[in-house]
Amino acid sequence: MTGMEPISLTEALASFTDRWSPRIVTTVNDYDVRVAKVAGEHVWHTHDNTDEFFLVLEGELHIALRGERTVVLPKGSVFTVPRGTEHRPYAPVPTEILLLEPTGTSTVGDRHGEIPGHVDATTGHALG
């Protein structure tokens, strides 16, 4: 993070190739602004104490909400998963997203199923 300098999301996303392994591009108060490249399924998980904000920058993201429905987010769409809602993101094509979450929030939530090898259980990685 560069403090008072602008950050290019295009350059940030070009700086890594890992899927389901978000990078922290900046912070806003006590929140991380993260970007991630995603493809295929994540893991069913729940964030007990925080909502999870998604913005699709490129591609298409599906978010299955356990027992309810699946939300489809095309490029340019936003959706907030309410705290305590079990959900599983899925990208049918390579997709780039921006997430807004409190600093220290785990990518696999507070409760989750078995974590597949392609999903990085992290609180976000620094750029570079």
Q: Which domain range does residue 56 map to?
A: 19-119
| Assigned domain for 125 exists | no
- If one counts the domains in the chain, the total is 1
Environment class of residue 54 by beta-carbon count within 10 Å: exposed (0-12), middle (13-18) or buried (19+)? buried
| Assigned domain for 9 exists | no
Nearest alpha carbon to residue 24 among 109, 110, 105, 114? 105
Question: Considering the entire predicted model, what is its pTM?
Answer: 0.93
| Assigned domain for 33 exists | yes
| Assigned domain for 12 exists | no
The domain that holds 39 is classified in CATH as 2.60.120.10
| Assigned domain for 28 exists | yes
| Assigned domain for 104 exists | yes
| Assigned domain for 7 exists | no
Tens digits of pLDDT across the chain (128 residues): 446 889 999 999 999 999 999 999 999 999 999 999 999 999 999 999 999 999 999 999 999 999 999 999 999 999 999 999 999 999 999 999 999 999 999 999 898 988 988 999 999 999 87
